[in-house]
Amino acid sequence: MTDNWDDLRIFLAVARYETLSAAGRQIKLDPATVGRRIGRIEDQLGRSLFIRSTFGYALTDAGNRMLDHAVRVEQAMAGLSEEISGQTGSLSGQIRIGAPDGCANFLLPQVCARISDKNPDLDIQIVALPRVINLTKREADMAIAVSPPETGRLTVQKLTDYKLHLAASAEYLQNKPPLTKLSDLKGHRFIGYIADMIFDKELDYLTELGVQRLPLASNSVSVQFNWLRAGAGLGVVHDFALPFAPGLKRILAHRFSLTRSFYLIRHYEDRRMDRMNKFVAALGEEIRAELDHLERFP
């Protein structure tokens, strides 16, 4: 196993960005140099770390094992850098948060803006993806998820609960019979997730209503939300998103309500980094305050 941090840094870049050119841009080396360095690392180890193809570089089994080792070294180096620079506990530099797009679109922007106001030297990046964020590949420094992971060297903390209800626009509901019970939903056009692209069982909202067909479906919460705003049908909406579309109204709230949770997921080794801990504390506090504010929407 190589013990050269510069070699590990190059390996991590290729593992995360999967092409020599993308890795080179990240670490400011030309692609040819990156390729030579990867070849030298593999020669030293006596095994292939990547499968080369026209699509890029994919990790082998040996590469995946080395990735875990390299991430731990990277985290240790980051902690050491904080100690030496005297920045322990300060909020500066860059922090990247991954989140499902509902949270990323309707909750995190105002939360992170307030944290930024208090910490002008901090750069906050939000990665909004309709799938689970890969922390090992450093798609983000931390991730918000709707289910705690069952595997991996990670720390997990519950941030808060949130609620969801059926909703539709007044435009859609006009000239339709009143909705007073769940059976009245039969015959209405539903909007929701593409079934085979639901990446977490907690997002399978409509199964509980027995909905079998979705004439309008997307893997994106924002697309679903915009369909609802346009009067295209009925769907399940985060309560915290409703203030962003005053034309949407909760339907059958006394008959159908869901409660889900947000969890913050981090690398296990990051628990020792005061800077990250301070950011996490601020993030949790601001998210809970923002949810309390937004969910009061009538």
Which pLDDT tens digit goes with each residue over 174-200? Answer: 989 999 999 999 989 999 999 999 988
C-alpha–C-alpha distance, residues 133 and 138, integer Å: 9
Q: Is the same domain home to 118 and 78?
A: no
Q: Is the same domain home to 118 and 139?
A: yes
- pLDDT tens-digit series, residues 90-122: 578 889 999 999 999 999 999 999 999 999 989
C-alpha–C-alpha distance, residues 73 and 193, integer Å: 39
Q: Is the same domain home to 253 and 279?
A: no
- Which of 185 and 89 is assigned the larger pLDDT? 185
Domain extent for 36: 5-85
Q: Is the same domain home to 152 and 177?
A: no
Q: Is the same domain home to 32 and 78?
A: yes
Tell which of 85, 119, 149 closes a domain: 85
Q: Is the same domain home to 150 and 169?
A: no
Q: Is the same domain home to 152 and 165?
A: no
Q: Is 53 helix (H, G, I), strand (E, B) or coil?
A: strand
Q: Is the same domain home to 28 and 75?
A: yes
- pLDDT tens-digit series, residues 216-269: 999 999 999 999 999 999 999 999 999 999 999 999 999 999 999 999 999 877
CATH number of the domain within which 71 lies: 1.10.10.10
Structurally, the chain folds into a number of domains equal to 3
Q: Is the same domain home to 79 and 107?
A: no
Q: Is the same domain home to 124 and 185?
A: no
Alpha helices in the chain (DSSP H): 5-17, 20-27, 31-45, 61-85, 101-106, 108-118, 170-173, 221-229, 274-294
Q: Is the same domain home to 39 and 62?
A: yes
CATH number of the domain within which 133 lies: 3.40.190.10
Q: Is the same domain home to 71 and 206?
A: no
pLDDT at 72 > cutoff 80 = no
What confidence score (pLDDT) does residue 135 get? 75
Kindly tell me the number of DSSP H helices and DSSP E strands found in the chain. 9, 11
Q: In the numeric block, which tokens belong to residue 67?
A: 């990735």
pLDDT at 132 > cutoff 90 = no
Q: In the numeric block, which tokens belong to residue 177?
A: 């019979």
Whole-model pTM? 0.75
Residues 247 and 171: beta-carbon distance below 8 Å: yes
Residue with tokens 């292939």: 48
pLDDT at 30 > cutoff 90 = yes
- Which of 153 and 291 is assigned the larger pLDDT? 291
